[in-house]
Structure 1
Amino acid sequence: MLFTSACSQAENDNATADQVPATAQAPSGKKGKKGGHKKGKGKEADLPAGLRPVGRLTDGILESSGLCAAPEAGTYFTFGDDGQQPFVYRVDATGQQVGQFTLGAPNHDWESLSRDNRGNYFMGDCGNNNNDRRNLAILRFRPEQPTSVGKINFSYPDQTEFPPAKSDRNFDCEASLWHDGQVYLFTKDRAQSTTCKVYTVPETPGTYKAKLITKLAIPGQVTDATLAPSGRRLVLLARQEVFVFEGDSWGAILKATPRHIDLKGAGQTEGAAFKDENTLLITTEQGAMYELSL
């Protein structure tokens, strides 16, 4: 069975249909607690084997929170999270900006981006640090028509308090991906950092109760998800670590014991997308961009 990765390299896309203007300029840096990229992280000699810096995000792209392949080969979409403008940036594999557009929906707390095999993209506006949001949504759009946005509103079937007790705060979602007509949501366990809950919602705009399908034993807080071009390798990114699930089917992947890869020294790793079957691109909130050999 062959799967289509939401954030894999777009080798067979029709680039003409999904062109994104490359002339827009990046906004000036936001002043405040994170008004620019912090340097000094990720010196190659101090990084784990297989991880190497390949560049930095263009100044003005603040707090990269996710990464996904763009329709144009060799380029990727990234964006900021809570409090940032609703801008989606197109960058190359070294982090240099080559395009930009404004999405026709506010950025409550964008955390992840994925795509289907027909040119639709799904922005996860489901960051929920305090576990008290009631306006969680996935924003469906096409890059050539970014002002036309369909909303997939959802709530969690097992959440009854907003916020719940601190021991039950596992309703923050910073990782999602599209697969086979569903958007999969992977939670960030802010209570115990031991369990990633996996939910699904339909790909069609509407209002839904998410479906809880499984729980993954992960000793970390998940920040992004991406599927390899072959569909046989799922990567869940966390803070300075990666969990790799492998299998011959989607069901087998979700039942697999993950391989752990340490990314200590990389910074606050937030975005991940496959460059090819064995190479992962990773971005950090501090603006660094890395390649990880799998």
Structure 2
Amino acid sequence: MIYFKRLIIIILILNACQTPGLLTIEGSITNSLTEVSAAELDLNTDIVWVIQDAGNSNNLFGLNLKGHIERNVDISNVKNIDWEDLTSDKLGNIYIGDFGNNSKKRKTFRILKVKNDDLNKTNAVAEIIEFTLPKDIHSKDFEAFFLYNNFFYIISKETKKFIVLKVPNEIGTHEAVLRSDFNLKGKNNKITSADISSDGNIVVLLNHDKLWKLSGFESDDFFSGQIEELPFKHNTQKEGICFKTNSKVILTDERDGIEGGNIYTFDIN
């Protein structure tokens, strides 16, 4: 009888660490952050940087993998118009994509650069990269981007065909270049976050119930190679993804009642 009780306890503990499907829960994000909208791993630690989207404070939060806040950086010179995604460079500088546009009325979009040296402080002043859309492109909503060869690739949030814009990583104002457009197969294809592996060989695009793994592409023609759809068998409002290793990603989702509000890992191989 004692043996079976212990066995039941062990099973309950193991199940508490798993979600349905292939996702593994690493931690529960602190209740004070309900609308986590991105994820980016710190350069030299296991800190996961996150933000909250429109209507929330202009703060960059550093979480440990259990979901507890270890760093809190107030970006003092900007307002959170609609922060949506994060990326970083090889020096550990963090970039905030302030390009959400639910109303489809924005004409100017921003990427905010927070220097690595400021990530251990409580306050920071961001450098600002602004961009406008190409002249023949109507205003769109963006929630995903990544940095590759010192250019940002910014992906629109569309039900069907989406566009990829290219913007240089240079302080100032730029007119974005239309790099490509593409239509992923299937349903529920709105892209909410993106990242590229440290070796530059794999791009991941996030949706609430799946990700797409892009590999074998040539230069920055990211859809020229193999495109794999990897389902989670788990559907919540997932809006943050970043690489932990070249074969494993970290994901975050928003909290909705008793669902979500977690940090997950997912093996893409």
Settle same-fold status: TM greater than 0.5: yes
Question: 2:152 aligned with 1:152, yes or no?
Answer: no
**Aligned residue number for residue 232 of structure 2:** 263
Alignment CA distance shift 1:258-1:242 (3 Å): same
Any runs of at least 4 consecutive aligned residues in structure 1 with deviations exceeding 4 A, and if so which? 42-46, 158-162
**What secondary structure sits across from 1:251 in the alignment?**
coil
Relative to the length of structure 1, the TM-score reads 0.76
Deviation of 1:172 (Å): 1.0
Deviation of 1:196 (Å): 2.3
Q: Which runs of 5+ in 1 are unaligned?
A: 1-41, 163-170
Deviation of 1:226 (Å): 0.8
Q: Which runs of 5+ in 2 are unaligned?
A: 1-14, 256-260
Q: Which moved more, 1:272-281 or 1:146-155?
A: 146-155
Alignment CA distance shift 1:130-1:58 (3 Å): same
CA distance in 2, matches of 1:266, 1:229: 27
**Aligned residue number for residue 25 of structure 2:** 53
Asked whether the 8 Å contact 2:218–2:224 carries over to 1, the reply is: no
**Aligned residue number for residue 48 of structure 2:** 76
Deviation of 1:239 (Å): 2.1
Per-residue CA deviation, residues 229-250 of structure 1 (Å, 9 max, x unaligned), is 2221100011221010012643
**Aligned residue number for residue 234 of structure 1:** 203
Deviation of 1:216 (Å): 2.3
Query: What code does the residue aligned with 1:283 have?
Result: T
CA distance in 1, matches of 2:17, 2:136: 43
**What secondary structure sits across from 2:223 in the alignment?**
helix
Query: What code does the residue aligned with 2:134 have?
Result: P
**Aligned residue number for residue 281 of structure 1:** 250
Alignment CA distance shift 1:135-1:74 (3 Å): same
Per-residue CA deviation, residues 142-177 of structure 1 (Å, 9 max, x unaligned), is 143353222111111145656xxxxxxxx1110011
Query: What code does the residue aligned with 1:290 have?
Result: Y
Relative to the length of structure 2, the TM-score reads 0.82
Alignment CA distance shift 1:45-1:173 (3 Å): same
Alignment CA distance shift 1:262-1:98 (3 Å): same
Alignment CA distance shift 1:217-1:179 (3 Å): same
Report sequence identity in percent. 23
Query: What code does the residue aligned with 2:179 have?
Result: I
Question: 2:221 aligned with 1:221, yes or no?
Answer: no
Deviation of 1:111 (Å): 0.4
**Aligned residue number for residue 133 of structure 1:** 106
Per-residue CA deviation, residues 169-223 of structure 1 (Å, 9 max, x unaligned), is xx1110011111211101111xxx1222111111111111100011122240001
Highest Rg: 1 or 2? 2
CA distance in 1, matches of 2:229, 2:17: 20
Question: 2:170 aligned with 1:204, yes or no?
Answer: yes
**What secondary structure sits across from 1:95 in the alignment?**
coil
Q: CA RMSD in A?
A: 2.1
Q: How many residues align?
A: 241
1:173 aligned to 127, 142, 145, which one? 142
Asked whether the 8 Å contact 2:208–2:235 carries over to 1, the reply is: no
Alignment CA distance shift 1:247-1:159 (3 Å): same
**Aligned residue number for residue 243 of structure 1:** 212
Question: 2:64 aligned with 1:92, yes or no?
Answer: yes
Question: 2:93 aligned with 1:120, yes or no?
Answer: yes
**Aligned residue number for residue 5 of structure 2:** none
Query: What code does the residue aligned with 1:71 have?
Result: L
CA distance in 2, matches of 1:103, 1:86: 6
Asked whether the 8 Å contact 1:47–1:266 carries over to 2, the reply is: no
